[in-house]
Amino acid sequence: MKNYLFFAVIVILSLVILTSGCVNNDSFNTTQTYSGNGISFTYNGTWEVANTTSPNAVVAVGDPKTVDAQKNPYTFVLIQKPNETQNNDLDQTYNQNYATLFNNSSNQHVSEANITVNNNRALENIYLTNSSGMQMQMRAVWLTQKGVIYVILCGTIPANFDKEQKNFDLVINSFKVQ
């Protein structure tokens, strides 16, 4: 009986040791929180805040594992505000923006929808675009908080678009204007 107990302990310990060696880092669900420039949101713990030269950009975060030679990550989330000279009507600003954007043949409309983010109405537009010779799939979420329009632009390559939705949703659903 004692021998069986000893053997069982050995087997259990072996399973624990072998399993611990096979744990993938991606399985860790760590997150980070950004707070600044009047907004806050939560994003993937392995991502980092990026520099941005985009117009009216508030902040940008990206996946450092996806950077190219020019240090441009192809998986990112960028938060912008439309030009202040424009009116604050969400639908009008949204429609004007994409009326111009899709005049360019390098941008291909995929879908759009009315969605709800934290019980607030938002507009979502998904499209394909060519960026620096690489095709990207963008998911832009337009929403208004405290009277200000924000655009959360989530982008990645089409092959990773579905896989990255959980990271995009993390930012979108946690976005708050302070």
Partner 1 sequence: MKEMIEIKSDKDKVIRSLQELEFEFAQGNISKKTYNSQKRDLEEKIETFEVADRVKRLQGKGDSEKPLEYWTEKKEQEKEKLAKEELMKKYITTSSPSYPSNKTAKVNVNRRKAVLTAVLALIFITGIGFGVFLMKVPESAAVSMNINQSAFPPIVNNTTNVTNTTVLTTTSNTSSTSNTGTDTSTGSNTNNGGNTGGNTQTTNKTK
Among 39, 44, 82, 123, the residue binding partner 1 under the rule CB under 8 A is 82
Q: Is 155 in the site for partner 1 (CB under 8 A)?
A: yes
- Between residues 28 and 159, which has the closer beta carbon with respect to partner 1? 28
Q: Is 117 in the site for partner 1 (CB under 8 A)?
A: no
Beta bridge partners of residue 152, listed in sequence order: 79, 141
Stretch that binds partner 1, among 52-60, 115-123, 159-167, 168-176 (CB under 8 A): 52-60
- How many CB atoms sit inside 10 A of residue 153's CB? 19
Q: Is 178 in the site for partner 1 (CB under 8 A)?
A: no
* Contact by Cβ (8 Å): 154, 138: yes
Beta bridge partners of residue 73, listed in sequence order: 67
Among 35, 71, 95, 108, the residue binding partner 1 under the rule CB under 8 A is 71
Give the shortest CB-146-to-partner 1 separation in angstroms. 19
Stretch that binds partner 1, among 64-72, 108-116, 160-168, 169-177 (CB under 8 A): 64-72
**Which residues have CB under 8 Å from 78's CB, separation 6+?**
52, 54, 57, 59, 60, 152, 153, 155
Q: Could you give the angle at the alpha carbon of 15 between the alpha carbons of 14 and 17, nearest 5°? A: 65
Q: Is 85 in the site for partner 1 (CB under 8 A)?
A: no
Look-up of token digits 């929180």 = 33
- Between residues 75 and 170, which has the closer beta carbon with respect to partner 1? 75
